[in-house]
């Protein structure tokens, strides 16, 4: 089984996670830039982070046989902090980089006017740079936030097939699917979506334009939720081709719209190329 995790924050994870992900079938992933938990106090803090997503983290992933791509943006939460507004001015430089496969995560957190501005501006940047976008939907007031997000996406003029709306659930899947955008689901250990609920959504809505991610980060999360969902699909009677569509071909088709998803080096899923971590420890 080959797995592409379309949303995971590896900066927050250990090498044991990379090793376990490879063993589970993960061969490629996208790491969206996001909030670090601790508020950033300057634009330089973002640029160091973006540089790490483009340099150190792909190198680290490669040690474990996994291809690493990223998305960059001013995240919805920090769009409300005036110390971070200058990020929008440095983004064009990063949106030109080879491993950046979308603008994201953008969207709403608390639905403030500042978030409106950052969302609209970054949708423009996506159009200017011919990149798809990864849109986060708020965890509070999800139905209202998702509806408003779809309105802003429509007004921006970006083609809906270039938009992935993420963190969906039973209440929001239909409105996003009807909009023509791609639908993303984050599977968590204790809250929000579970793999069994995900299987029921796939049974009801089909597998087209559906993406499943672990969204693993520094919180309680599980980087193997993609594989666990794939196993739950098989147990529920989905065939291997349907699992491959959701776990590999759909994310490849979505992020492939960037023209930058170079997967030629991807190890075949049973090649056993992984021979262990060769990262030299030093400087910690």
Q: Which is nearer to Zn ion, 87 or 215 (CB)?
A: 215
Instruction: Please state the closest distance from residue 42 (CB atom) to Zn ion, in A.
Output: 22
Between 1 and 106, CB nearer to Zn ion: 106
* Tokens 């409105």 sit on residue: 175
Rounded to a whole number of angstroms, the minimum distance from the CB of residue 269 to Zn ion is 25
Min CB(138)–Zn ion separation in Å: 12
* C-beta closer to Zn ion: residue 165 or 243: 165
Nearest CB to Zn ion, comparing residues 131 and 216: 216
Task: Tell me how far, at minimum, the Cβ of 37 lies from Zn ion, in Å.
Answer: 12
Enumerate binding residues for Zn ion (CB under 5 A): 34, 215
DSSP 187: B
- What does the alpha-carbon distance between residue 109 and residue 41 come to, in Å, rounded to a whole number? 19
Q: What whole-number distance in Å separates Cα of residue 155 and Cα of residue 157?
A: 5
Give Cα 136 distance to the centre of its chain: 9
For residue 273, the SS3 value is coil
**Nearest-approach distance from CB 215 to Zn ion, in angstroms:** 5
Which residues does 269 contact at the CB level (< 8 Å), separation at least 6? 1, 2, 25, 27
Task: Give every CB contact of residue 54 below 8 A, 6+ residues apart in sequence.
Answer: 70, 94, 97, 99, 100
Of 1 and 210, nearer to Zn ion (C-beta) is 210
């Amino acid at each position: 089984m080959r797995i592409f995790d379309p949303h995971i924050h590896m900066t927050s994870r250990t090498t044991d996670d990379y090793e376990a992900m490879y063993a589970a079938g993960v061969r490629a992933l996208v790491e969206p830039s996001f909030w670090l938990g601790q508020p950033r106090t300057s634009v330089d803090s973002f640029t160091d982070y973006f540089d790490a997503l483009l340099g150190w983290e792909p190198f680290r992933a490669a040690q474990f046989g996994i291809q690493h791509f990223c998305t960059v943006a001013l995240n919805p939460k920090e769009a409300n902090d005036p110390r971070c507004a200058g990020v929008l001015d440095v983004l064009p430089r990063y949106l030109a980089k080879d491993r950046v496969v979308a603008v994201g995560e953008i969207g709403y957190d608390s639905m403030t006017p500042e978030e409106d501005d950052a969302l609209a501006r970054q949708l423009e940047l996506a159009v200017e740079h011919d990149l798809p976008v990864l849109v986060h939907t708020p965890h509070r007031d999800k139905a209202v936030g998702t509806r408003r997000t779809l309105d802003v996406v429509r007004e921006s003029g970006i083609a809906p097939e270039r938009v992935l709306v993420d963190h969906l659930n039973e209440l929001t899947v239909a409105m996003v699917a009807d909009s023509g955008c791609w639908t993303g689901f984050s599977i968590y250990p204790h809250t929000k979506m579970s793999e069994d609920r995900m299987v029921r959504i796939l049974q009801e809505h089909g597998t087209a334009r559906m993406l499943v991610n672990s969204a693993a980060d520094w919180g309680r999360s599980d980087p193997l939720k993609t594989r666990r969902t794939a196993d739950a699909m098989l147990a529920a009677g989905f065939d291997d081709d349907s699992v491959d569509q959701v776990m590999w071909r759909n994310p490849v088709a979505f992020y492939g719209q960037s023209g930058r998803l170079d997967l030629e080096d991807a190890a075949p899923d049973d090649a056993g190329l992984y021979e262990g971590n060769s990262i030299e420890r030093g400087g910690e």
